[in-house]
Amino acid sequence: MSSSQTKRPLSSAKAGPISGDIRVPGDKSISHRSLMFGGLAIGTTKVTGLLEGEDVLATADAMRKLGATVTRDDDGTWHVTGVGVGALREPGSVIDMGNAGTGIRLMAGIVATHPITTFFTGDASLCKRPMGRVADPLAEFGAKFITRDRGRPPMAVIGTDEAKPITYTLPMASAQVKSAVMLAGLNTTGTTTVIEPKPSRDHTERMLRHFGVDVDVKVNDDGGRTVSLTGPAEMKAADIVVPTDPSSAAFPLVAALIHRDSNVTIRDVCLNPLRTGLITTLIEMGGDITITNEREEAGETIGDLVVTGKNRLQGIVVPADRAPSMIDEYPVLAVAAAYAEGETRMCDLEELRVKESDRLAAVAAGLEANGVIHRIEGDDLIVTGGAVPGGGMVETHLDHRIAMSFLVLGLGAEKPVAVDDANPIATSFPSFEKLMGDMGAKFALHS
Ligand SMILES: O=C(O)C1=C[C@@H](OP(=O)(O)O)[C@@H](O)[C@H](O)C1
Ligand SMILES: C=C(OP(=O)(O)O)C(=O)O
């Protein structure tokens, strides 16, 4: 989103039950990858269910600037005609990735092993985020990076045409870093290997296979994974049906759990086991959530979520090793915890500090402003649940998940909860207000 856009303060007020049978928009991770991989493949890839949020639209523009043809039919079907691995053309202008960390980091991997120079920028949030985590391994392939402020965008990537394959052990659980390295490996002669000590979402591995790339995945003795592919790879166009986004489903899910008469069905949700940490956690907390209609589509597990608010949530300890499977869901889990009985401890949230905002600080500030008892111990967040006073104004810091989480908090609070800017919601869930409003949520522009 544009950082210069006027802020749009919005508040939410105590609502009755949340009820409906809904589809949230397409999965953001899968949407980004379908455009990138379609643009690298030979032939035309048809994508249905694409998330038409600002982050993904920035990726569509980026792939166009690199030579792919990306079009949209009136019915929302997208077509991507690729140029083939190795054949991207040098963009004639700066690529603006907006608010999208996934966009800029995966794109950096793709261009790093093409003999072109690419300039990336983004909004005020993206320009604070660390790129060294991708620049360091990509430099080992032979690419060069110019960044500002010790690794922040704007960032120039000077790609190499003599890429050397690497073996890289991830210093943190990150699907973005893993993917950037794998994507650089596509146009590198030889075998590129990524060792991840803790498994992170594997959409890249699954979708590369769908496009005909031989990706080898081994589960290591310590539970981590070793992922490798051999380049130069040839990718063949392959149609994609994007499942709906579990990270967006999280908001109606938690909203339903905080009112005892709520009853919501959320359709066609991506249930990749490396994305379902929040569902596991909410069920452990006593939430009445049932998965129905489970099936496989285009290499991903999909199903419907049926949730009611009949059970009061109970505080639990959320283990550190679950973090990668629910990394974007902690802000809204903190909201669920605010309504639970007792204490919820969320362990090892260090990675939250480098998202669209410092989410640990932003969540703590939002809870504080609304009278929710909480504390931070090291990288753990501990929330004590009960009645939520509300009445506070929450700073969103250009972070969609902070905005949506605190609007959900307001649905059960004694006094309305306001967020200073609802615009960032358009990055991942443009229909959030309408969809939640149709189910009974109460939002109002805040003056
Ligand atoms: O690969 C992806 O699509 C994503 C990976 C995660 O980031 P990290 O790799 O930084 O954990 C997640 O937070 C982001 O929303 C999407
Ligand atoms: C962290 C997120 O996205 P990204 O890193 O792509 O900006 C998110 O959507 O919560």
Residue 372 Cα, ligand 1 centroid: separation in angstroms? Answer: 28
User: Is 87 inside a domain boundary?
Assistant: yes
pLDDT in tens, 299-336: 899 999 999 999 999 999 999 999 999 999 999 999 99
User: Is 197 inside a domain boundary?
Assistant: yes
User: Is 2 inside a domain boundary?
Assistant: no
Residues 221 and 327 in one domain: no
Residues 171 and 265 in one domain: no
Q: What is the per-residue pLDDT for 4?
A: 56
Q: Grade residue 228 by pLDDT with cuts at 50, 70 and 90.
A: very high
Q: Grade residue 62 by pLDDT with cuts at 50, 70 and 90.
A: very high
Residue 82 Cα, ligand 1 centroid: separation in angstroms? Answer: 24
State which ligand 2 atom lies nearest to the alpha carbon of 102: 6
Q: Which residues contact ligand 1 via a Cβ below 6 A? A: 29, 102, 174-176, 179, 201, 327-328, 351
State which of 174, 208, 241 marks the end of a domain: 241
Residue 125 Cα, ligand 2 centroid: separation in angstroms? Answer: 11
Residues 161 and 275 in one domain: no
State which ligand 1 atom lies nearest to the alpha carbon of 176: 9
- Mean pLDDT, residues 378-383 taken together: 98
State which of 197, 221, 241 marks the end of a domain: 241
For residue 3, pLDDT beyond 80 = no
User: Is 5 inside a domain boundary?
Assistant: no
Residues 309 and 286 in one domain: yes
Tell me the CATH number at 104: 3.65.10.10
User: Is 4 inside a domain boundary?
Assistant: no
State which ligand 1 atom lies nearest to the alpha carbon of 133: 10
Mutate to test the pocket of ligand 2, among 97, 350, 356 (most ligand atoms within 8 A of CB): 356
What percent of the chain has pLDDT above 70?
A: 99
Nearest CA to ligand 2 atom 10: 328
pLDDT in tens, 387-446: 999 999 999 999 999 999 999 999 999 999 999 999 999 999 999 999 999 999 999 998
Ligand nearest to the CA of 1: 2
Residue 249 Cα, ligand 2 centroid: separation in angstroms? Answer: 15
- Mean pLDDT, residues 251-274 taken together: 98
Residues 294 and 218 in one domain: no
Residues 221 and 261 in one domain: no
Nearest CA to ligand 2 atom 9: 328
Whole-model pTM above 0.90?
A: yes
Residue whose entry in the numeric block shows the structure tokens 């950037």: 180
User: Is 410 inside a domain boundary?
Assistant: yes
Nearest CA to ligand 2 atom 1: 355
Q: What is the per-residue pLDDT for 297?
A: 85
Ligand nearest to the CA of 175: 1
Q: Which residues contact ligand 2 via a Cβ below 6 A? A: 28, 100-102, 328, 355-356, 401, 428
Number of domains in the chain: 2
Residue 140 Cα, ligand 1 centroid: separation in angstroms? Answer: 22
Domain range for 258: 10-26+243-445
State which of 241, 259, 291 marks the end of a domain: 241
Mutate to test the pocket of ligand 1, among 28, 201, 242, 400 (most ligand atoms within 8 A of CB): 201
Residues 63 and 130 in one domain: yes
User: Is 421 inside a domain boundary?
Assistant: yes
For residue 298, pLDDT beyond 80 = no
State which ligand 1 atom lies nearest to the alpha carbon of 33: 3
Residue 355 Cα, ligand 2 centroid: separation in angstroms? Answer: 6
- Mean pLDDT, residues 279-290 taken together: 98
Residues 355 and 432 in one domain: yes
Ligand nearest to the CA of 178: 1
- Mean pLDDT, residues 366-382 taken together: 98
- Mean pLDDT, residues 350-355 taken together: 98
User: Is 200 inside a domain boundary?
Assistant: yes
Residues 152 and 215 in one domain: yes
Q: What is the per-residue pLDDT for 311?
A: 97
Lowest mean pLDDT among 113-127, 232-246, 288-302, 333-347: 288-302
Residues 261 and 227 in one domain: no
- Mean pLDDT, residues 216-238 taken together: 98
pLDDT in tens, 146-186: 999 999 999 999 999 999 999 999 999 999 999 999 999 99
Residues 172 and 251 in one domain: no
Active site residues: 328
Residues 207 and 255 in one domain: no
